[in-house]
Structure 1
Amino acid sequence: MNAEAALLSAFAAEARGNPYAPLAELRSIDPAYCHETLGTRFLTRFADCQAALADPGFVVPDRDWLVRERPEWVGYPAADFFYSSLLGTNGVGHERLRRPLLGAFGARRVAALSASVEKIADELLDRFADLSSDGGAADFQALVGYPLPVAVVGELIGVPREDQAQFHLLGQGAGRLLEPVRTAADWERADHAVLALREYFAALLRERRARSTEDLASTLLAQVGSGEAKLTEHELVDLLLLVFVAGFETTAGLLGLSVFALLTHPDQLALLRADPGLLSGAVEESLRWDGPVLMTERLAARPMEVGGVAVPAGGSVTAVLGAGNRDPQRYPDPDAFLVRRPDVRVLSFGAGAHHCLGAALARLEGAVLLGRLVARFPALALAGPPVRRESACLRSFDSLPLVTTG
């Protein structure tokens, strides 16, 4: 197998369940493989991925890049959102948008959310238990995996519970922006989602302007047009949109993937049942073994070197996080799922300026959910093959049927 064949095999639909074998093959052939047609180098070693994420010499594609390199995308509302958001800004522009959110996702605020996460998890697991009590299958992803992070970030921002059900499909539509190759259908779905979400959050801000509360929407609203951040109304709408969608899309993936990893490794599940102190380690190992984001792109802001090869200014590299997380040079026996694995430092939340603000909250949700799930359902098992999300970048389940009685 050559490098191109390995790469294409990893991204083929039939490898959606396990792209890691062909990615390992690609790493052994060429760990910084340059695909001329796609115009990027695929980095598959841990150290190289870490360097691309953490070094300020690598930046994200931004609005200037959009206008210069993809002018045909400029008219899409979704492109306008993405390449002006936290995900698509660099330098002082990125810092200005990020700064108002730091307090909302700091250690103190996340710790304060712990009781709320536990309460929401218990409520959702009660319903899951009711629907599976007769021995039939219940869809964990639909009943718990998505609703939990939606409810948590919704409470943080100020989205009422009765409004939250509509966001599942909209979040998936907006998620098409993360695909490495976007089709016309992807743009249509993403545009629809962005326009609907912008309308929703603009209305939410109008409500908060009339009646302020203690949520993030009210906190950020106070910064429109004043203070150091000087957010515009449009920027605030898009900031709330991003926080909300990013706050549940990848965490929903993490929850389902973690449960699946444990259920397909009963020896590790038994260790976790016997020692709840392993919960945080189980979450980290789940992120390493099969995390919710497979890859992310960076551009060289100046001539750079990574993986032993030169990258010219403006050149693209793609950090294949899933491959780096299974690099045998970083982790012995990398394909094994081990909740006691020492010194796990995952690439899954990025690094440097774009390190995920919600990492601590996602880890909290994962630990709370897994702890309660394994304690309440000693006979928990898969009830059939799960349905994986159709995506080259985001790893998640559309359906994860489980049973709770043997």
Structure 2
Amino acid sequence: MNSSVSDLADDLSNAGVALASALSPENGESPYASLAALRKFAPVYHCEQESLDTRFLTRFADCQAVLADPGFVVPDRAWLFRERPAWAARPAADFFYSSLLGTNGVGHERLRRPVQRAFSARRVATLAASVAEHVDALLDRFADATAHGAAADFQALVGYPLAVTAVGELIGVPRADQERFHRLGREAARLLEPVRTAADWERADQAVVELRAYFAALLAERRARPGEDLASGLQAHPDLAEPALSGQELADLLLLVFVAGFETTVGLLGTSVFALLTHPDQLALLRADPGLLPGAVEESLRWDGPVLMTERLAACPMEVGGVSVPPGGSVTTVLGAANRDPARYRDPDAFLVRRPDVRVLSFGAGAHHCLGAGLARLEGAVLLERLFARFPALALADAPVRRESACLRSFDVLPLAATG
């Protein structure tokens, strides 16, 4: 074996070790060193394990190109019935592969267009006062819980309630109903994992059945008593140029918007607070200049964004990073690795609220760019401004607990004290 072939074999072996390390639950605190090693050894790495069989992309340019190229599509219902027929009867699979996340082309646009208006920049701007009001009320509760030096879980008292209230208000979910969605949202979000166990499917199925029933009932309620919310608007202004969405499609739209809207945002809220508390020099800059808030949110999204990776399939023979991908071949854009690519960002592992030219892939790109990105950024900026102004001595009270997930970056528990 000549040296170049031997070196290639060594690189691929090292890449496999790096990938296994990055995906290991034991490495959930920070997979980024392992992802950097994967990028070094094989920036387009074909993992041929039957449970994965995908090409992991870790360079910013490659990930951005794939997400923006219509030649790469998401797995959809046709893929489901062709490649995973055993899943097809599952309620969770039926939902996922017919939702916005699992449709392409005209079908995707048909579902996306009616809900896009609810997340326009103008509409999100009108929510700023309401978000600020929610933040202040939640911080009152947090202040009570941390009085006299006590510690409290930020995620339970602020992060989760803020995320679910903001998107719930936009959709039209009554406040009294919102608390029940914490568990259901987590169970449905198991569909985002790159490998799903039998337990994942069972829990996701149960959550989807319950959520579909809830949103079907909410739509019926809004038909009888319309309000100024998405559940009402989707039914009040149908696009006569296109076939009307069915009742199931409308319920699934609300289900997806609600669950995706708070699952990713609660991740952003927790990780941004954690990032600033563990980088006191950057927090001092932010406190001295609140104009840095938008940059702090973007840097949080770059440094440890809420979604680590997402999959695409080649719709025809494609090439990425100099590697050929056959029709139907899978690629996984590792967004977290792309956001720390040294070819795109100088000193990528540093957390810098003044970092220039931050354009993250944390919310995807192209046709499937996250509809709720603007709302998530708004919630992050309002929260950070008010939280650190109100609690000047805020500090970590104990080690946080990371969510066990290969895809979603979030904290289950983030213990903070207001008098650190």
TM-score, normalised on structure 1?
0.99
Tell me the number of residue pairs that the alignment of Structure 1 and Structure 2 aligns.
406
Provide the C-alpha distance between the structure 2 equivalents of 1:353 and 1:26, rounded to a whole number of angstroms: 28
* Partner SS state of residue 361, structure 2: coil
394, 400, 404: which one pairs with 1:386? 400
2:260 corresponds to 1:246 = yes
User: Which of 244, 247, 272 is equivalent to 1:258?
Assistant: 272
1:96 counterpart letter in structure 2: R
Equivalent residue for 2:46?
Answer: 34
Contact kept, 8 Å, 1:225 with 1:232, in 2: the verdict is no
Inter-partner Cα distance in structure 2 for 1:116 and 1:301: 43
Amino acid at match of 2:89: G
Taking the aligned partners of 1:383 and 1:264, their CA distance within structure 2 comes to 12
> What is the one-letter code of the residue matched to 2:329?
G
Give the one of 67, 82, 98 matched to 1:84.
98
Contact 1:9–1:15 under 8 Å retained in 2: yes
The equivalent position to 1:48 in structure 2, one of 41, 62, 67, is 62
Q: Which residue of 2 aligns with 1:182?
A: 196
Among candidates 198, 212, 219, match of residue 205 of structure 1: 219
State whether structure 2 residue 177 is matched by structure 1 residue 163. yes
Structure 2 spans left out of the alignment, 5+ residues? 1-12
For the residues of structure 2 that align with 1:111 and 1:228, how far apart are their CA atoms? Answer: 29
Out of 143, 164, 187, the position equivalent to 1:150 is 164
- Cα shift at 1:222: 2.5
Whether the aligned pair in 2 keeps the contact of 1:299 and 1:315 (CA below 8 Å) is yes
* 3-state secondary structure, aligned to 1:291: coil
Alignment correspondent of 1:219 = 233
Q: 1:124 aligns with which of 123, 138, 149?
A: 138
- Whole-angstrom CA distance in 1 between matches of 2:344 and 2:142: 38
Aligned to 2:415: 401
How many Å apart are 1:208 and its aligned residue? 1.0
| Code of the aligned partner of 1:18 | S
Task: Note the C-alpha offset of 1:133.
Answer: 1.1
Counterpart residue number, 2:30: 18
Partner of 1:138, secondary structure, is: strand
2:318 alignment partner in structure 1: 304
Correspondence for 2:148: 134
Structure 1: runs of 5 or more not aligned: none
Shift of 1:203: 1.0
Compute the RMSD of aligned alpha carbons: 1.0
2:246 corresponds to which of 232, 244, 260: 232
CA distance in 1, matches of 2:292, 2:21: 35
Paired with 1:89 and 1:111, the residues of 2 have a C-alpha distance of 29
SS at match of 2:176: helix
Q: Quote the offset at 1:229 in angstroms.
A: 5.1
Task: Give the 4+ runs in structure 1 shifted more than 6 A.
Answer: none
Q: Does 1:283 align with 2:313?
A: no
Deviation at 1:224, TM superposition (A): 6.3
Cα distance in 2, alignment partners of residues 185 and 392 from structure 1: 16
For residues 358-373 of structure 1, what are the structure 2 equivalents within 5 Å? 358-373=372-387
12, 16, 21: which one aligns with 1:9: 21
Query: Matches of 2:25 and 2:221 in 1, distance apart?
Result: 44
The TM-score with structure 2 as length reference comes to 0.95
Give, in whole Å, the separation in 2 of the partners of 1:308 and 1:269.
41
CA distance in structure 1 between the aligned counterparts of 2:310 and 2:14, rounded to whole angstroms: 23
* Structure 1 residue corresponding to 2:119, chosen from 88, 105, 115: 105
Shift of 1:323: 0.3
Partner AA of 1:213 in structure 2: G
C-alpha distance in 1 between matches for 2:341 and 2:269? 23
User: Following the alignment from structure 1 to structure 2, what is the Cα–Cα distance between the partners of residues 121 and 160?
Assistant: 18
Cα deviation digits, residues 14-55 of structure 1 (max 9, x gap): 110010001000000000000011210000000000011111
* Residue deviations 1:359-406 (CA, integer Å, cap 9, x gap): 111100000000101100000000001111010000101110000013
Q: Secondary structure at the match of 1:103?
A: helix
- SS of the aligned residue for 2:179 comes to helix
